[in-house]
Amino acid sequence: MTLMTDPAPAQSAPRDAFALLKTLAERQRARQDAPGFAGAPLLDLSIGNPDLAPEPRWRERLQHYVGRDDLHGYGEFRADLNQRLRERFAAYYQRRFLPPGAPALLDPQRHVVDLLGSKEGIFHSLFACLQPGEAVLMPDPSYTVYQSTARLLRARVELFACDERGQPQLESIRAEQLQGARVLVICSPSNPTGIALAPARLEQVLDFARRHDLYVVIDRAYAEIAFEPPRGGVLGGAALPAPGALERVLELHSLSKSCGVAGWRIGFAAGAPALVAKIRAAKFNADFGTFLPLQCVAAEMLDELEAIAARNSAVYAARMRRFVDGAAALGWRIAPSHGTFFLWAPLPPGFDGDDLDFVEALLDATGVLVAPGSGFGPGGAGRVRVALVQSEAVLDEALRRLRAWPALRRDAAA
C-alpha cells in the first residue's frame, strides 16, 4: 500500500482536537514567557497524559533487566522473551474476561502481537484492513487518531451517530456509507466520552459486522480504568469470547493507563489471526520489537495487572467525584464517566455557542485548558473533554480558577 500524506480529495478534514490543543497550549506558553505577563499560568486538563507513575518495585525490576548484558539487542531476535510476553497477555485475558473454567481462548502465536502502545495498534490495524478509497466506519465523536490515520491511508472516514446515552446507532449508517467499507472502529470505554459499550449494543456491533463482512477494531486501552466492579470476577466489554468474533475482531489493549507507564509504550493487539499476521509482518519491517527489558517487566506486570489497575482506577474515580462535585457547586452539571479518566462535559449554563470559543475564552481568562468536543467530530459540538490527569491539588486549583471567573460565576447564579 502506498502511503500518502495529504487527505483523500473527496473529504475535507474536520477539526482535529490535538492540532487545536497544540496551538492553544503553545500560544499560552508564549504569553507566559513574555515580559510583564500577569495572567494565570497554563493548567492543562486537555491531553490524557497520565501523571501516575509505576510503583518503585516495577522501576527496580526494569533497572534489573537493563543491567543484563544480553537484553540490549533487537527485541525481534529474542523469540523466547516475546513468546513469554504474549503468553502472559493471553493468560491475563483469559483470567480477566472469561469465566473460571472456560476453555483457553487465545493462542499466543496466532492471536496476539505486542505493540509499541495501543496507538501504534490503531495505525497497524487500519493499515492491515484498508486500501486507498475503501471506507472505515466509526462513531461520531471518536478519538481523532482513528480519523487521521484513515486519511493518511487515503481511506474514507464514514461517521455514524450515537444516541442520547452515547451508544452507537448502527441503524443510522446509510447504504452509501457501506460502499467499500472494510472495518468498523469503536472505543470502549470511549475516548472522548468515557461511555462503555452496553453488552446488547456490542452484540449488535458484532452482528452488523458479520452481516456486512466487516472487520471490527475495538480500542480497549481504557478497559482497566473502570468504575464498576467486575461481575463474578469477570470484567465486561470483551468482544473476543463471542461466537465467531476471533475471525473478524481485533481488540487493542494497553498498559499505559492501567499501570501508569504511558512512556514505556507497551500494548497488545489480540484477535483475528489474519490481522495479527499482517501487523506482525509490518512491525518486522518497521521497528524490530520492543526494548527487551520492557518486555520482561511487562510480562511480570501482566500477572498482577488487576491489582495494579485497581489502585490507579481508585485514584481516577476519586478525582472524578471531586471534579464533578466541584463543578456542580458552580452550576456546571457533568455526568460521571463509566470509565477512562475523562469527563465529557456539556458547556456550562450560559455558554451556548461554539465549544472552541468557550475553550479559548476559558484559557484566556483562567489559564485552564480543556479539549473542544468538536475536535473529535461534529457530534462533539457543544461539549468539552476534561482529562483528570493531575493531582487533586491541581484539580482544586482549576476549580478555584473557575469559581473566580466572572463569566461562569454570573451565568451559574442566573
- pLDDT over 70 for what percent of the chain? 95
Distance CA 183, CA 137 (A): 6
Distance CA 285, CA 80 (A): 20
Instruction: Say what the pLDDT of residue 13 is.
Output: 55
Instruction: Say what the pLDDT of residue 14 is.
Output: 62
More confident: 353 or 50: 50
Strands (E), 283-382: 342-346, 368-369, 371-372
Distance CA 172, CA 170 (A): 5
Region 350-354 average pLDDT: 87
Host H or E run for residue 217: strand 215-219
Instruction: Say what the pLDDT of residue 20 is.
Output: 82
Enumerate residues 6+ apart whose C-beta is below 8 A from 369: 21, 24, 25, 28, 42, 43, 44, 45, 46, 359, 362, 363
Domains of the chain: 17-52+308-404 (3.90.1150.10), 72-304 (3.40.640.10)
Report pTM. Answer: 0.92
Region 94-104 average pLDDT: 95
State pLDDT tens for residues 58-89. 999 999 999 999 999 999 899 999 999 999 99
Whether pLDDT at 377 is above 80 = yes
State pLDDT tens for residues 236-265. 999 999 999 999 999 999 999 999 999 999
Instruction: Say what the pLDDT of residue 2 is.
Output: 36
Instruction: Say what the pLDDT of residue 411 is.
Output: 53
Instruction: Say what the pLDDT of residue 231 is.
Output: 79
**Residues forming beta bridges with residue 138, ordered by sequence position:** 159
Instruction: Say what the pLDDT of residue 113 is.
Output: 98
**Residues forming beta bridges with residue 250, ordered by sequence position:** 217, 271
**Residues forming beta bridges with residue 226, ordered by sequence position:** 339
State pLDDT tens for residues 197-229. 999 999 999 999 999 999 999 999 999 998 887
Instruction: Say what the pLDDT of residue 409 is.
Output: 60
In this structure, the number of other CB atoms found within 10 A of the CB of residue 18 comes to 16
Whether pLDDT at 8 is above 80 = no
Whether pLDDT at 317 is above 60 = yes
Mean pLDDT of the chain: 92
Contact assessment for residue 167 and residue 194, using Cβ atoms and an 8 Å cutoff: no
DSSP 226-294: BSSPPBTTB-S---TTSTTGGGTEEEEEESHHHHT-GGG--EEEEE-HHHHHHHHHHHHTTT--S-HHH
Q: Beta 215-219 vs 249-254: how paired, if at all? A: parallel
Amino acid identity of residue 405, one-letter, is W
